[in-house]
């Protein structure tokens, strides 16, 4: 890793000046802040995502160490391959889906990982009896369909997903339903922070649009 962008999920006390101290700490060790997003705040605490440029893995370790020294601050996750910073990733994905309604679900599964900062994604179809669903499409880097075993009900939210290599579970996995079609989008991070409800809400809005544009029988 050489001069790359990473995204830190940081829990901080929700009080004036604290974010400025975090910024000063990062600046003092040469980690340039590219973007800050507040995921949630309340009850005196906040969760922020801070995109920073670091030199290498050793520099990233230093960033984490120095932030941990700031009173009340903790780094709860690091995303090594975050989405682009233009702030329109989900809108771009919607535009791509709408441009080709005949392959909307394929466009969605191909584009979702980059839009949300996931490692891979799959489209699954639930039958009338519920789980387990059937995998009908997947992105690059996804395991074989038979190795994607979902026991969760069809709903929006994080799910537990066993790894194909029997080495425990993926760090974070989530389902986003595509309306009332029986289809859902599975997104997976092999490493990094859990999917936050703010992330899933944005992707859920994409799913609502897809259900109206996709010929759902195309992948059945």
The residue whose two tokens read 């080709």 is 100
Mean pLDDT of the chain: 88
**Strand 4-13 relative to strand 74-79: parallel, antiparallel, unpaired?**
antiparallel
Asked whether the predicted pLDDT for residue 1 surpasses 90, the reply is no
For 89-219, CATH gives 3.30.450.40
- Cut 0.85: pTM above it: yes
Is 164:144 a contact under the CB 8 Å cutoff?
yes
What pLDDT, in 10s, does the model give residues 97-109? 888 888 888 999 9
Q: Do 60 and 6 touch, CB atoms closer than 8 A?
A: yes
Query: Would you say 77 and 9 are in contact if contact means Cβ atoms under 8 Å apart?
Result: yes
Q: State the DSSP H helix or E strand holding residue 82, giving kind and residue range, or none if neither.
A: none
Mean pLDDT of the 120-128 span: 94
Please say if the pLDDT value at position 184 is more than 50. Answer: yes
Confidence tier at 87 by pLDDT (50, 70, 90): low
Give the per-residue pLDDT at 215: 59
- How far is 186 from 156, CA to CA, in rounded Å? 10
Among the listed residues 166, 214, 193, the one whose alpha carbon sits nearest the alpha carbon of residue 50? 193
Contact present, 199 and 166 (Cβ < 8 Å)? no
Going from the C-alpha of 31 to that of each of 51, 55, 178, the distances in angstroms are 10, 8, 39
Residue 132, preceding bond cis, omega within 30 degrees? yes
Q: CATH assignment of 4-79, given 3.60.130.10, 3.40.1740.10, 3.40.47.10, 3.30.70.260?
A: 3.30.70.260
């Amino acid at each position: 890793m050489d001069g790359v962008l990473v995204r830190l999920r940081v829990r901080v006390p929700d009080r004036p000046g604290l974010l400025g101290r975090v910024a000063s700490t990062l600046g003092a060790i040469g980690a340039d802040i590219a973007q800050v997003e507040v995921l949630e705040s309340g009850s005196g605490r906040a969760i922020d995502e801070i995109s920073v440029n670091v030199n290498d893995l050793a520099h990233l370790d230093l960033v984490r160490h120095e932030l941990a020294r700031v009173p009340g601050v903790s780094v709860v996750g690091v995303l090594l391959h975050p989405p682009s910073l233009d702030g329109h990733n989900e809108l771009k994905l919607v535009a791509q889906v709408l441009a080709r309604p005949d392959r909307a679900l394929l466009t969605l599964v191909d584009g979702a990982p980059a839009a949300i900062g996931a490692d891979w994604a799959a489209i699954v179809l639930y039958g009338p009896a519920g789980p387990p669903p059937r995998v009908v499409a997947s992105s690059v880097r996804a395991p074989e369909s038979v190795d994607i075993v979902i026991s969760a009900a069809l709903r929006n939210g994080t799910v537990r997903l066993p790894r194909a290599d029997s080495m425990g579970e993926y760090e974070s996995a989530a389902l986003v339903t595509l309306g009332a079609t029986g289809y859902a989008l599975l997104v997976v991070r092999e490493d990094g922070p859990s999917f936050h409800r703010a992330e899933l809400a944005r992707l859920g809005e994409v799913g609502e649009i897809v259900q109206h544009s996709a010929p759902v029988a195309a992948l059945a």
